[in-house]
Amino acid sequence: DAGVTQSPTHLIKTRGQQVTLRCSPKSGHDTVSWYQQALGQGPQFIFQYYEEEERQRGNFPDRFSGHQFPNYSSELNVNALLLGDSALYLCASSLVPGKSGANVLTFGAGSRLTVL
Amino acid sequence: KNQVEQSPQSLIILEGKNCTLQCNYTVSPFSNLRWYKQDTGRGPVSLTIMTFSENTKSNGRYTATLDADTKQSSLHITASQLSDSASYICVVSYLGGYNKLIFGAGTRLAVHP
């Protein structure tokens, strides 16, 4: 049973460029959340997707956008990259609120983004 | 303001020794508290989840405690192993904010032979 898979594992971009990160949730999960983790810090919530719609959003600018596909996989897009966007981007999957076990988050290994 | 603070920031212990990590929170209204282990370059892995009514929960050599009155939690690691070297993150969830979890900055534990 595959867990959460993310791609790419590492990438390097320059300021002003755009990046797309991908996530496949754990089998059976239908909700995907994205987090940004700067070096030495805890993860910060970006947004959550369920039924192909953004359901909740953290304190991140509109440069951060996402999408969820019918197969529950998800993408995180970041436009106009800044140096401060360099971080580990984590995807976590879970069940929709209200379902048994919805509290359990399963994280992927993350995508390490470096902005030069 | 909802916050989670962890201490110490980093810790070095010898293999076989015990250690205790601390977590203080001001999150309200409280739903549950989780401890995660994060190996370098990997995603966090859940160790324990505790609700308001639970005082202690164990997962192998890991034992978490929760005092909801003082809003404090601890993670005790017994007979440490080299593989315990990781960051340990305390995460608090609040009612009405499903998956708007408040993460602590983590404690970096290094276990030396």
d(CA B105, CA A42): 4
What's the one-letter identity of residue B14? Answer: L
**pLDDT tens-place string over residues B72-97:** 999 999 999 999 999 999 999 877 64
Are A110 and B45 in contact (CB < 8 Å)?
Answer: no
Q: How confident is the model at residue B40 (pLDDT cuts 50, 70, 90)?
A: confident
Closest CA to B108 of A81, A41, A28, A84: A41
Contacts of A50 (CB under 8 A, 6+ apart): A30, A31, A32, A68, A96
Are B99 and A94 in contact (CB < 8 Å)?
Answer: yes
Give the residue-averaged pLDDT of B55-79. Answer: 96
Closest CA to A26 of A41, A5, A11: A5
Contacts of A90 in chain B (CB under 8 A): 43-44
Residue of A nearest to B106 (CA): A42
Contacts of A45 in chain B (CB under 8 A): 99-101
d(CA B27, CA B3): 6
Average pLDDT taken over every residue of chain A: 92
Chain A 40-99, residues with CB within 8 Å of chain B CB atoms? 40-45, 48, 56, 58, 88, 90, 92, 94, 97
**CA of A18 vs chain B CAs: smallest distance (Å):** 23
Residues in chain B: 113
Contact A13, A115 (CB under 8 A): yes
Are B103 and A94 in contact (CB < 8 Å)?
Answer: no
Contacts of B43 in chain A (CB under 8 A): 4, 90, 92, 107-110
**pLDDT tens-place string over residues A26-71:** 998 999 999 999 988 889 999 999 999 998 888 899 999 999 999 9
Residue of B nearest to A57 (CA): B100
Please tell me the predicted confidence (pLDDT) of residue A93: 93
**pLDDT tens-place string over residues B2-32:** 889 999 999 999 999 999 999 999 988 888 8
Are A42 and B105 in contact (CB < 8 Å)?
Answer: yes
Q: What's chain B's Rg over C-alpha atoms?
A: 13
Q: Is A107 on the interface with B (CB under 8 A)?
A: yes
Contacts of B98 in chain A (CB under 8 A): 56, 97, 102
